[in-house]
């Protein structure tokens, strides 16, 4: 029998969650690996600061396209089917970037990787939310964010290991290996996905009720009553009066749309991905050597991993809003310290301490909450499109921040961090006044509480 383990999570549910969340690990690795190769890119392709920013942002163009385009395919072929395609894209991108013969080919393969990242940011948390009972949904969806952070840490450690132990032997080829190693986990992800079930809510939407019952039996229900769960899902879909193809941008969905756009925009206005993509570059700007900068980047990644784990453990107990409040305060303190470090002429110790506070705040707050929250606030019938909108907003803002950061940092780095700090004051106000709490509430009841029929 498929009994819950000591944490109350059934083995089938835990296994499916871990496999789906591998999309998050590849997401994190793909987005952070470039941080250790910026000097090589600048020299290899003769890039200006503006062109370097565009090269880093090239993958983000793919993420924007991937995030907004994946919603309807996820409704048509299922969440698992889309994840299989994304695994292939990750693999192709890794091999292509490693073998890129010129700047254009590198940009194309980074774009392919971006498509996978954008798609995974939508489908992986949505899939996990749809297979998870409400009482443990927060921590299970947060496994995706844990894997994103773990992927970032792996990218930093991989870059440092290749540079430190194999740099002399590989020469400039070391930077190609930094990209190529991602092919191995992408292949593992592809194979394991075939052992995952389809989302029960997607199965109900397709009229495959018996298959949905089987998945709910193996993964668990909110009420413990299987037939009641099926009826609640059917009622939330209400396909007699609504369609999976009905208009999304309309008055009845206005509240979840505004909530998703706000939390996604604030996520990037913190400057988090400017720090992750340019961490080695930032530390070099205050006098760190290349190897020291890569090692300090790994310390940043490890800090975020630790605080993400802490948030995962408590998110279903203390709630989403409380984590966001604490994280917002940490953001303000960390970004203020980083701005001071640059303004006073490059205080390396103050910068490292400030960025560690900032990264800890992200792992504990926004990083743990964003994908959980967006996956919860949309009704079943439009969740794929809602998740796509939130992810699109996230990646569009990411592209803008990542493209402009090196240009601003080259002249006055403190201004960038001061701007991000002011944005986080705005986030704190939004959380206190607007953001609803969703912990422990079934997806179908959240729909009712937001006033959506």
Taking 50 as the threshold, does the pLDDT of residue 240 lie above it? no
Looking up tokens 């569009």 gives 396
Three-class DSSP labels, the chain: CCCCCCCCCCHHHHHHHHHHHHHHHHHHHHHHHHHHCHHHHHHHCCCCHHHHHHHHHHHHHHHHHHHHHCHHHHHHHCHHHHHHHHHHHHHHHHHHHHHCCCHHHHHHHHHHHHHHHHHHHHHHHHHHHHHCCHHHHHHHHHHHHHHHHHHHHHHHHHHHHHHHHHHHHHCCHHHHHHHHCCHHHHHHHHHHHCCCCCCHHHHHHCCCHHHHHHHHHHHCCCCCCHHHHHHHHHHHHCCCCCCCCCCCCCHHHHHHHHHHHHHHHHHHHCCHHHHHHCHHHHHHHCCCCHHHHHHHHHHHHHHHHHHHHHHHHHHHHHCHHHHHHHHHHHHHHHHHHHHHHHHCCCCHHHHHHHHHHHHHHHHHCHHHHHHHHHHHCCCHHHHHHHHHHHHHHHHHHHHHHHHHHHHHHHHHHHHHHHHHHHHHHHHHHHHHHCCCCCCCCCHHHHHHHCCCC
Q: Whose CA is closest to 90, among 119, 55, 68?
A: 119
Q: Say if 1 falls within a structural domain.
A: no
Residue 1 has a pLDDT of 45
The 10s digit of each residue's pLDDT in 82-124 is 999 999 999 999 999 989 888 899 999 999 999 998 898 889 9
| Matching residue, tokens 């919860």 | 376
pLDDT the model gives residue 4: 53
**Is the model's pLDDT at 22 over the cut of 60?**
yes
Q: How many domains does the chain have?
A: 1
- For 247-256, write each residue's pLDDT tens digit: 787 888 899 9
CA 295/CA 355 separation, integer angstroms: 14
pLDDT at 145 (0 to 100): 78
The pLDDT of 45-74, averaged and rounded, is 82
Q: Give the confidence band of 286 by pLDDT, cuts at 50, 70, 90.
A: low
- Say if CB 196 and CB 21 are below 8 A apart: no
Is the pLDDT at 7 greater than 60, yes or no? no
Give residue for tokens 């940490």. 330
What is the band of 238 on the pLDDT scale with cuts at 50, 70, 90? low
pLDDT digits (tens, 9 = 90+) for 158-200: 888 888 787 678 877 888 888 988 999 999 999 999 999 998 8
Q: Would 6 be classed as within a structural domain?
A: no
- CATH classification at residue 197: 1.20.1250.20
pLDDT of residue 260: 94
Beta carbons of 430 and 258 less than 8 angstroms apart:
no
Among 180-194, 267-281, 411-425, the least confident range: 267-281
What percentage of the chain exceeds 90 in pLDDT? 27
Residue 285 has pLDDT above 70, yes or no: no
Residue 424 lies in a domain: yes
Residue 358 forms part of a structural domain: yes
pTM of the model: 0.76
The answer to the question of residue 188 being in a domain is yes
Mean pLDDT calculated for residue range 268-281: 79
Domain that residue 298 falls in: 11-449
Q: Is residue 237 part of a domain?
A: yes
């Amino acid at each position: 029998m498929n009994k819950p383990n000591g944490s109350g999570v059934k083995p089938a549910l835990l296994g499916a969650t871990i496999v789906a969340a591998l999309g998050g690990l590849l997401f994190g690795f793909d987005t952070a690996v470039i941080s250790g190769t910026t000097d090589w890119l600048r020299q290899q392709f003769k890039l200006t600061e503006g062109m370097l920013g565009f090269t880093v942002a090239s993958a983000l163009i793919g993420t924007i396209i991937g995030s907004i385009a994946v919603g309807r395919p996820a409704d048509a072929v299922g969440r698992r089917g889309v994840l299989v395609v994304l695994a292939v894209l990750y693999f192709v991108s890794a091999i292509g970037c490693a073998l890129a013969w010129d700047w254009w080919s590198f940009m194309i393969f980074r774009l392919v990787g971006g498509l996978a990242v954008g798609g995974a940011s939508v489908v992986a948390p949505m899939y996990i939310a749809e297979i998870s009972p409400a009482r443990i949904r927060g921590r299970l969806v947060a496994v995706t964010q844990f894997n994103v952070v773990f992927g970032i840490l792996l990218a930093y450690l991989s870059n440092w290991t290749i540079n430190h132990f194999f740099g002399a032997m590989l020469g400039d080829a070391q930077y190609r290996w930094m990209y190529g190693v991602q092919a191995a986990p992408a292949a593992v992800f592809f194979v394991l996905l075939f052992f995952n079930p389809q989302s029960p809510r997607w199965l109900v939407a397709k009229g495959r009720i018996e298959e949905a019952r089987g998945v709910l039996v193996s993964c668990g229900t909110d009420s413990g009553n299987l037939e009641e769960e099926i009826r609640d899902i059917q009622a939330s879909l209400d396909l007699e009066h609504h369609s999976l193809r009905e208009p999304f941008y309309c008055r009845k969905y206005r509240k979840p749309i505004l909530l998703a756009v706000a939390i996604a925009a604030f996520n990037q206005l913190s400057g988090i991905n400017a720090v992750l993509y340019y961490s080695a570059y930032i530390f070099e700007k205050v006098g760190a050597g290349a190897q020291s900068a890569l090692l300090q980047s790994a310390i940043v990644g490890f800090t975020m991993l630790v605080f993400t784990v802490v948030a995962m453990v408590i998110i279903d107990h203390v709630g989403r809003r409380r984590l966001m409040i604490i994280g917002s305060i940490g953001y303000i303190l960390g970004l203020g310290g980083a701005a001071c470090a640059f303004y006073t002429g490059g205080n390396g110790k103050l910068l490292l301490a400030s960025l560690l506070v900032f990264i800890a705040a992200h792992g504990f707050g926004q990083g743990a909450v964003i994908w959980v929250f967006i996956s919860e606030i949309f009704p079943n019938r439009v969740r794929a499109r809602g998740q796509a909108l939130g992810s699109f907003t996230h990646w569009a803002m990411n592209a803008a921040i990542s493209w402009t950061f090196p240009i601003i940092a080259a002249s006055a780095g403190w201004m960038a961090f001061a701007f991000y700090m002011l944005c986080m004051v705005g986030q704190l106000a939004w959380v206190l006044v607007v953001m609803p709490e969703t912990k422990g509430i079934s997806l179908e009841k959240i729909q009712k509480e937001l006033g959506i029929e």
